Amino acid sequence: MTALCAALLLILSGGGGGQARSAEPVTLSVVPPESGLRPGSSARASVLVTVAKGWHINSASPVDSDLVATALACTPPPGLAVAPVRFPPGVRRTFAFSSEPLDVFEGTVPLTLEISAAEGILPGEYAIAIEVSYQACTNEICLPPSTLRATVPLRVTSP
């Protein structure tokens, strides 16, 4: 009976089978530039950080230095560069665990990447690795800090 209960809990929790949990509080999606990028020019891509209802993550500039700030790191291949990402402002919320309002992100947070291509870059398909670091919390709990990884696909066209 104990083994049956353990197996049922494993199935209900999404464990086993190599499948990712579908109830992650934070997900990423990438919107690459609409058209190709020519050498010597720039284009914009978007990274959408979506925070599930009932959850929040700290903004990129939390009010307390002990809080985990949301950050985005980019690793472009040679010949491509990404300007520092500007985060949107957070929203001020008061939670049960804090007497002071915190600066947080909720819902879908759009981050815009300004990508530039060097004059001598060769035409072809490229990918920019990105990492978004954050800490997801509810009004009652905080999960350990986490990092999501994705790539931004990019096509460099002929000059």
Over the stretch 23-70, which tens digit does the pLDDT of each residue have?
789 999 999 998 889 999 999 999 999 999 999 999 999 988 889 999
Return phi, psi of residue 35, to 5°. -125, 170
Share of the chain above pLDDT 90, in %: 72
- Position 113 scores a pLDDT of 96
In the chain, domain spans: 19-156
Residue 2 has pLDDT above 70, yes or no: no
Residue 11 has pLDDT above 70, yes or no: no
* DSSP reduced 3-state for 121: coil
- Position 1 scores a pLDDT of 35
- Across residues 128-137, what is the average pLDDT? 97
Residue 148 has pLDDT above 60, yes or no: yes
Average pLDDT, the chain: 86
Q: Is 3.30.1280.10 the CATH number for 19-156?
A: no
The pTM for the full model equals 0.81
Q: Give the Cα separation of 82 and 33 in Å (integer).
A: 13
The span from the first CA to the last CA of the chain, in angstroms, equals 69
Residue 94 has pLDDT above 80, yes or no: yes
